[in-house]
Structure 1
């Protein structure tokens, strides 16, 4: 009886954990612009009955870029740059209102700079709705049909509502990104100051000593040898301090906190691979101690390494939340997925074993819209 009761409680906790992860995923759409845009492209198809959904932000230089798509045949619209006023999306941005055409390539309402990629996807009727928030256009969401048709009131209302929620998501994601950048910049300044005060000062003294040796190179041999020996000791000390500093930078000692360490891990991944990577923290995440932070950080790095090797992803999101008496981290990519064997490599198995030693878990699941999510959970001490 007791065993069955424990099994039922475990099942109940597991179900609650899955529900919280689903809620977590919904919240992330307000913190990650890539996830928000991907969801918009999919949902506008579902809610308007369109053949194609597109979504993109207005990026620096006031250029609209189609970053996410759903239902396309060709690749001409993928990452397409649209200047203000050009095409249907550029017109929507310039006029800050929804616009649509029944037959794109013959319409006199718009310019025809993009007829080639539009025709390659067989697009006829097309709707573009700007995502306006805080007095500015954050992006545009499109619905397109491969036949001459029209968008009714219900479809227009659904598209406008989606654009409103998309504008909120992009605004919130932008604020979250600025906050992360400020935290990362503060951490970099702290490290730079430590390097300046430690290694920099020692190297300055060594340089001064070398200049002095050059000036007095004609002094007696024994004195010169003694001074050279002293210089060698200083060099060894400086090298040791420098190695320790590099080790701290490379391994993210937990003094900077889990959030800052994850941000640096994402920045390192992005520099190394060219793939967009962001770290977000949902709500307040309590400190889980230096040792457990190192285990979590190692697990995230292993997950990112697997994304690099297997996923061919365009973006990665690392999200952290306090849940079920512990800390949960999700590493989600939008790649083509991993094979079963790739998801059971020695690196992930070893990482799972290390997490298990402190009561944690690791699982790899496929996302409904493509890609893979590595879920990491560790109980608080």
Structure 2
């Protein structure tokens, strides 16, 4: 028993390492397309193509806020990471009006506000052009071309700056879409791994805990050394299970939903009081609302599965897990009982057949499979829409 427990603990630790690696990879993915390279190239291009002394590029990072993140040709640092609210200064004006704007002499111009005269003067800027990067009516950022002398940005320079801004808007829009897709893919991968780990490690840890508690109960009055060893093993297992739950939660920070999860928890509590069999309901990650009709079908199917456990399984523990994956909700009801009642009877109960028909009416499926270490799992899948 102790050797089997140690193996399970070691496997749980290995899965914890997988959690950490996945979280690290997720963080790296989120920084692969952080727009830095694109913005750096825009600052250099607008300077070169307009023949300017300075090129600047900044993304819109919050509602009505532009931040100058990349620069080329500056001497001072006042413009570096400068925060420019919509409407203020030259870039803020272009941001607000969705059009190119320029001034011959920045600090003397009556066209703009003068919130940023300090950093502008520190870099010796006189003539300046700002062009918003607009895609589908949305400003993604602003590029600037600046001269340290009073001059005129002719049609060629203006056309060049607009061309740079257009390509920059497309680049930032594409990067933003790619980032959202990668983030969604990473979230889906976290949920997939969480589901796999919960079905394997989580269920086994839960059953082991139930077995240890049962052994300790039957060993009372016997060897004190055996009792102490069982208590120690039970405490170790409780610590491992706690670490496992924390790691699963780290994979998906969404808060569990209310109605369906609460109903399943109440059903488990009632089942445990009625039968004396340990029962637990766990929601892995955030499960979205699937509508009242589908929720009723899922709940009825889970209750039918619990009823079958009560009537036929002779189980010591039951675990219900709920997870949303690939636009569907899956509820698994796993027990550690006696398995199939007899050859040729797999999944042929009248109650389960009728339940499968009701699940099928909402586009879902119901399946019953044998667990590798004993017992059965009823898995109910229902699409979200």
The alignment's TM-score, normalised by the length of structure 1, stands at 0.50
Larger Rg: 2
